[in-house]
Structure 1
Amino acid sequence: MNVWLMHGNSTLMSQFLRRVELTGVTMWKHSLDFSSCPTLEDLNLCSSRIYGPKISSQSVRCLSITQCQFNVDTGSRMRISAPCLVYLQLADVSGTAPLLERMPLLVTAFIRLGRGGFGTCTHEAYGDCDECFPYDGYYYGHDDYGASFANYHGSNDSVLLQGLSGATSLGLTTIDPNVFTFRKDLKQCPTFSMLKTLLLNEWCVAADFGALVKFLQCTPILEKLIIQLRLEKLPRVNSMIETYESYNPAVQLVLKHLKDVEIKCHKEDEVVRQIVKILSTFGVLSDQIDIQVIQQTYVSGSFDQFRAD
């Protein structure tokens, strides 16, 4: 059943509801507010168009948003407010990336950004240039029904990573390696002081390996690193703007806890060799790195994989 939610706020009221699943919902200029469901723990949104200012719940512990599209051509960025969240999944989502508010209890998060949005750049280098994302700063206001909203216009503040910084297990992947939301967030990268397991795919090596280096610098107790590479999406090494050697070695750390590295690829090429070389500068030995040559096409991780850890 398709559902349209138009303007204003939608407040679902129940003292007993524990799980909500919405499929085929279109939310237009509409906040989805679950504050009147104090026992709600599990919220699932699937195959929906969510063009509104906010999704909020003070009780939800597991939030899964899959195959959904966020604010497209609305000039605003949705906020997700769920301070009790423990598990988060944003998989195969597109549009304008939502702003994640603080999640102090977060343990596991899996993010897979889809095609058709989330900021792509036609230029080489990082893809966070002003020409491709020209606006700057927040604009706070109210819609016609009094619901507050915040427009985000490309400032250097973190959109996703700050809210994810307390996680223990984290997957950050994209279907299109040119999506630069993660790389843009890395300009103000927080320290992932609790992170032990990290999954990345080819976006982290695009242009100059800078994203990979930055993550290694910001994950001091990381124990397991998984990098998945799809050969057809990888950049040519000779087209990279700069290499990891351009980063200040003084801020590179020896990752004493990182003992298990998996690199899944279609073949061992120069990109893989550069990754191994970078890891060695952080004290990772070659016998700690497992290079797995995989012939078939695969999906970059899954939420259940992390929840099982």
Structure 2
Amino acid sequence: MHTIEPIRREGAAAPSLLRLHHDASSDAHWCFMHAQPASAQPDYRPCFSPGLLRELRLFAQASIEQISERARVAPAHLSHIVLASDAPVYNLGGDLQLFVDLIRLRDREALTRYARQCVDNIHLLQTRLHPNAHTIALVQGDALGGGLELALACRTIVAERGVQMGFPEVLFGLFPGMGAYSLLAQRVSPHVAEEMMLCGTMYSSEDLHRLGLVDVLVEPGEGVQAVHEQIRKHRRIATARLALHRVRDGAHPIPLAELVRITDIWVDTALQLEARHLRTMERLVRAQQRLQPAPAEVGRTAVGG
């Protein structure tokens, strides 16, 4: 039995780009990106806009507060953070139109500010938000660039078959600079990580499951149930799961300073792009705009299991 409650943070405005729920029966905090009414906006693109980044940060802060309160009462309690999407895709990555505008303006400060917002969110997820939390990415649609980085920052990736994932940044002269190399190197060899970042290949969820990047592979439509099964499994071994988190945290740390250093390289590279690269980004922006969900599709993912 799942008791689903909308997440509320006292004094904070309701999010417009996220659909949030708290399953009190399992202490699971569900976050669905690209929710109504954003998806009904004619120019909405399911990517990391500055607004989405801000709302993800607020969701993280609210979740940390709730998990901290629960941990004070039950120190060995295990909570879950689930990141999913209401759009036909998981997330298409960086805000390419913003990149084009800021590069043409030569606005290094704004590009740096955007990149730091991205890696702040990635670092929060990679460190699990709270010592008593386990993060899960539920990937039911394509995850590109920063969208794949977001999934890789989670401890468990549940993906449905037929999903495409990869780093297309090389097509317009960039590289995935919000943690991709550091996150990939935790799961695959540095050689494989570099190849994935530089080849521009789109991999199927089946491919990434064979590589060990996707942890749980299920049939289309079975992702939510698979997440509930993961949560139940982790709760049965909560003390062991939390202990292993501590072991892994020490063995494979990714300091925020490392992510910030890489974003500085990313900004330098972005400001060296040529006009042809910017035109490629603009073509991709137009393609992204065709991927907004129809009203009937929004809310297609239920959290009850």
Structure with bigger gyration radius: 1
Whichever structure has more helix as a proportion of its residues is: 2
Greater relative contact order: 1 or 2 (C-alpha under 8 angstroms, separation 6 or more)?
2
Same-fold call, TM cutoff 0.5: no
